[in-house]
Amino acid sequence: MEGRSGAVQKTQVTQNKHALYGSILLHGLNDTHSTTLPAIIPMLSESISLTMSQAGVLSALFGTICMLLQPVTGYLADMLKRPWFAVFGMLISAAGASLLPLSPNFGAALICVGVMGIGTSLFHPQGSGLCGAAADKNRLAFSLSLFHACGTLGGAVGPLYVVFMISVFGRKGFPLAAIPAALLISFFLFRAMGNTRADPAAAEKETKEASFLHELCFILSRIGWVVAVASIRDAVFQSIRVFTPTLFVQRGASIAMGSAVVLAVTLTAALAAVAGGRLSDSIGEKKVLFGSLAIAPLFLIFGVSDHGVLSIVSLMAGFAFLQSTMSVTMAIAQKKCTGARSMSSSLASGASWGIANLLVTPVGFLADHIGLQHALEIVAFLPWCIILWALLKTAASRRQGSAVQ
Predicted confidence at residue 108, as pLDDT, reads 92
3-class DSSP state for residue 304?
Answer: coil
Instruction: Report the alpha-carbon distance of residue 180 to residue 301 in Å, rounded.
Output: 42
CB of 360 closer than 8 Å to CB of 63: yes
| Across 85-101, average pLDDT | 89
Name which residue leads in pLDDT, 189 or 108: 108
Instruction: Report the alpha-carbon distance of residue 398 to residue 279 in Å, rounded.
Output: 27
CB of 294 closer than 8 Å to CB of 383: yes
- Using the 8-state DSSP alphabet, how is residue 371 labeled? -
Nearest to 245 by CA among 261, 269, 267: 261
The answer to whether residue 62 scores a pLDDT higher than 80 is yes
Name which residue leads in pLDDT, 370 or 210: 370
| Those residues with Cβ within 8 angstroms of residue 5's Cβ, 6 or more apart along the chain or in another chain | none
| Those residues with Cβ within 8 angstroms of residue 121's Cβ, 6 or more apart along the chain or in another chain | 65, 66, 69, 70, 73, 89, 350, 354
| Across 21-39, average pLDDT | 85
Domain holding 187, by residue range, is: 2-197+213-395
Q: How many CA atoms lie within 13 A of 139 on its CB side?
A: 13
In a domain? residue 80: yes
Q: Summarize pLDDT for 266-323 with one digit per residue, the tens.
A: 778 788 888 888 888 888 888 899 999 999 999 998 888 877 788 888 988 999 999 8
- CA-based Rg of the chain, rounded to a whole angstrom? 21
Q: Summarize pLDDT for 160-209 with one digit per residue, the tens.
A: 788 888 888 888 888 888 888 888 888 777 776 665 554 455 444 444 45
| Across 354-370, average pLDDT | 81
Whether pTM exceeds 0.75:
no
Q: How many CA atoms lie within 13 A of 68 on its CB side?
A: 10
| Across 68-91, average pLDDT | 83
In a domain? residue 400: no
Q: What share of the chain has pLDDT > 90, as a percent?
A: 12
- Using the 8-state DSSP alphabet, how is residue 82 labeled? S
Q: How many domains does the chain have?
A: 1
The answer to whether residue 49 scores a pLDDT higher than 60 is yes
Compute φ and ψ for 51, nearest 5 degrees.
-90, 170
Q: How far is CA 138 from CA 78, 258, 403, in A?
A: 22, 40, 38
In a domain? residue 204: no
Q: How many CA atoms lie within 13 A of 36 on its CB side?
A: 32
Name which residue leads in pLDDT, 136 or 109: 109
In a domain? residue 122: yes
Predicted confidence at residue 7, as pLDDT, reads 38
In a domain? residue 267: yes
The answer to whether residue 44 scores a pLDDT higher than 80 is yes
* Other CB atoms within 10 A of residue 382 CB: 18
Mean pLDDT of the chain: 81
CB of 224 closer than 8 Å to CB of 352: no
In a domain? residue 402: no
In a domain? residue 401: no
Name which residue leads in pLDDT, 10 or 251: 251
In a domain? residue 357: yes
CATH number at residue 302: 1.20.1250.20
